[in-house]
Chain A
């Protein structure tokens, strides 16, 4: 073939969009493959659902990321919703129940939703291992403990720096479907307890 260059120029003149579109498609496919392959596994991420006015999610996520980076935490996400918004119940049931590991909920919301079947009832073993304060106040429903007081309406918390709480008592709860709560929930994976460690960390003083 002596006129390869001329043939190439002819092809370029007629099919030049192909020369651009094919690399773009390849680039998108490669990027997608990398994204899929490196997507954090359920036990490498923590999802928090916060029923608050506002939250500085970037700073709080960074804080948790730094704190647990040595424990293979790859991603932290915080979804916030204001309980006074009309869309709040849908957001809680669709995003919260399906994705969240931890819930930061005010007393009124906990009371309305009825946590049985959604939140993890705390066992004595869980309390001993992950709640350091013996004087903690719990949210109890039908003699089961579903939440621990994170911040009372009258007190200040280290989380005030990141979260704009409503003037209510706030409880920290765990999703029964979380894969990050060792073997306390629905899944028997004792070695993955990142959500419980984050739970313990949030209940502490941020140190």
Chain B
């Protein structure tokens, strides 16, 4: 069985990232509050300009926090939730024929960044088209190859080439 996505390894990686983002968030917040407090304490009696400078800095800080910390932190949480749900979720095994691979990265419903593997599967002698998500953008298998895929929430975890 070829492994495409190693859940345990990835989970450890994302737990570490989550901790790192939490640390950066707290550290930046403490530094910002300390700086703001210093500006207030050291401000002269005519503080009007300084007050507006601090308000603009606070606005930039909040927007920066959302862009650089909050957005990635939310992504890390989504990945973490996906990996945690793996232990109690249903693993699907399906025989699929590869038809195409779209390496364009998009965000799926679980919040994962994935590429799309276009396949067909046969059920009760009817051929269905099925799109499977792959987390590795360099994933490559020849068209027409039949695989026994191991899937979780439509994400390819591993496969075995079928004859």
Contact = CB atoms under 8 A, between A and B. Distances in A.
Interface of A: 1-4, 6-8, 10-11, 18-19, 22-23, 26-27, 30-31, 33-34, 37-38, 74
Contact of B75 (A7, A18, A26): A7
A6 B107 contact: yes
Given A19-B63, A37-B40, 6 more contacts: A3-B106, A7-B71, A7-B72, A11-B70, A33-B40, A38-B43
Nearest to A36: B40
Given A2-B105, A26-B58, A8 B71 contact: yes
25 contacts: A1-B72, A1-B75, A1-B113, A2-B113, A3-B107, A4-B71, A4-B72, A6-B107, A7-B74, A8-B66, A8-B71, A11-B66, A11-B70, A18-B66, A19-B66, A22-B62, A26-B55, A26-B59, A27-B58, A34-B40, A34-B47, A34-B50, A34-B51, A38-B45, A38-B47
B139 interface: no
Contacts of A4: 67, 71-72
Contacts of B25: none
B43 A27 contact: no
Contacts of A3: 105-107, 113
Among A18, A23, A74, max chain B CB count under 10 A is at A23
B13 to A, nearest CB: 13
Interface residues of B, number: 25
B54 interface: yes
Contacts of A38: 43, 45, 47
B71 A11 contact: yes
A27 B107 contact: no
Interface of B: 36, 40-41, 43, 45, 47, 50-51, 54-55, 58-59, 62-63, 66-67, 70-72, 74-75, 105-107, 113
A155 B136 CA distance: 96
Contacts of A30: 36, 40, 51, 54-55, 58
Nearest to A33: B40
A7 B66 CA distance: 11
Contacts of A2: 105, 113
A11 B70 CA distance: 9
Contacts of A27: 55, 58-59
A114 to B, nearest CB: 41
A4 B64 CA distance: 13
